[in-house]
Structure 1
Amino acid sequence: MTRIFFFILTVISFQTFIAQKKTFKCEKVYDAVKLIDQSKFDEGIAILQECEKIDPSEYTYPYEIAYALLQKKDYKNAISQLEKIKSYPTIQADYYQLLGNSYDYDNNPEKAIATYDEGLKKFPNSGRLYLEKGVIYEYDQPEEAIKIYEKGIKVDPTYPSNYYRVSNLYLKSNNKLPGLIYGEIFVNLERTTKRTQEMSEKLYQTYKDAIDIKDEKSNTISLCKVISVDVNSINKNKVPFCIMFEAGMMLSTLGQKEFTFESFAKIRSNFLKEYSARLKKDHPNVLLDYFRKMEDHQVFNAYNHYVFQIGDENAFTKWQESNQAEYQKFVEWYTADENDLKIDKTNLYIAE
Structure 2
Amino acid sequence: MNWQKAAKTGALVLAGVMSIHWAVAQDNAELQTTARNFLRSGDYANAVLVLNQAIQNAPDDFQLKKDLAFAYYLKGDYNRAHSVVSPLLGDKDADIHLFQIAGNIFQARQDWKTAEKNYQRGLRKFPKSGELHNDYGDLLQNMKNFDGALAQWVKGIEADPNFPGNYYNAARSYLWTKEPIWAILYGETFINLESYTTRTAEIREVVMECYKKLFDDPAIFNSIPEESAKKGKKVAESGFMDAFKATMAKQTSVIASGIETESLIMLRTRFVLDWYNFYAVRYPYALFDFQRKLLKDGMFEAYNRWLFGPVSNQAEFKSWTTLHKADYDTFTSWQRNHPLKLKDDEFYNTGRLATIK
Give TM class, smaller chain. 0.7 to 0.9
Q: Is the 8 A contact 1:103 1:109 kept in 2?
A: yes
Measure, in 2, the Cα distance between the counterparts of 1:302 and 1:230.
37
Matching residue of 2:245? 246
Deviation at 1:92, TM superposition (A): 0.9
1:164 partnered with 2:165: no
Matching residue of 2:8? none
Inter-CA distance 332–110: structure 2 relative to 1 (3 Å threshold): same
Measure, in 2, the Cα distance between the counterparts of 1:232 and 1:293.
33
Alignment of 1:106-125 (within 5 A): 106-125=109-128
Inter-CA distance 304–54: structure 2 relative to 1 (3 Å threshold): same
Deviation at 1:91, TM superposition (A): 2.6
Which residue, out of 173, 181, 189, partners 1:177? 181
Matching residue of 1:195? 199
Normalized against structure 2, the TM-score is what? 0.81
Runs (5+) with no aligned partner, structure 1:
1-21, 213-219
Count how many residue pairs are aligned between Structure 1 and Structure 2: 320
Deviation at 1:116, TM superposition (A): 1.1
Alignment of 1:309-320 (within 5 A): 309-312=309-312, 313-320=314-321
Measure, in 1, the Cα distance between the counterparts of 2:211 and 2:87.
50
Measure, in 2, the Cα distance between the counterparts of 1:231 and 1:105.
49
Matching residue of 2:98? 95
Measure, in 1, the Cα distance between the counterparts of 2:92 and 2:180.
44
Measure, in 1, the Cα distance between the counterparts of 2:187 and 2:250.
23
Measure, in 1, the Cα distance between the counterparts of 2:95 and 2:228.
52
Inter-CA distance 182–56: structure 2 relative to 1 (3 Å threshold): same
CA RMSD of superposed structures (Å): 2.7
Deviation at 1:28, TM superposition (A): 2.4
Deviation at 1:149, TM superposition (A): 1.6
Aligned residue for 2:103, secondary structure, equals helix
Matching residue of 2:283? 283
Measure, in 1, the Cα distance between the counterparts of 2:218 and 2:331.
29
Matching residue of 1:323? 324
The higher relative CO (CA closer than 8 Å, separation ≥ 6) is in: 1
Measure, in 1, the Cα distance between the counterparts of 2:102 and 2:339.
33
Q: Is the 8 A contact 1:51 1:61 kept in 2?
A: yes
Measure, in 2, the Cα distance between the counterparts of 1:222 and 1:316.
33
Runs (5+) with no aligned partner, structure 2:
1-24, 353-357
Measure, in 1, the Cα distance between the counterparts of 2:157 and 2:140.
17
Deviation at 1:109, TM superposition (A): 1.2
Matching residue of 1:217? none
Aligned residue for 2:89, secondary structure, equals coil
Q: Is the 8 A contact 2:224 2:245 kept in 1?
A: no
Name the aligned partner's letter for residue 100 of structure 1: G
Alignment of 1:1-352 (within 5 A): 25-138=28-141, 140-211=144-215, 227=223, 229-230=225-226, 233=229, 240-255=239-254, 257-259=256-258, 260-312=260-312, 313-336=314-337, 339-348=338-347, 350=349
Normalized against structure 1, the TM-score is what? 0.82
Name the aligned partner's letter for residue 71 of structure 1: L
Matching residue of 1:4? none
Normalized per residue, the structure richer in helix is 2
Measure, in 2, the Cα distance between the counterparts of 1:64 and 1:119.
18
Residues 170-216 of structure 1 deviation map (CA, whole Å, 9 limit, x = unaligned) = 1111111011111111111122221111111221222134335xxxx
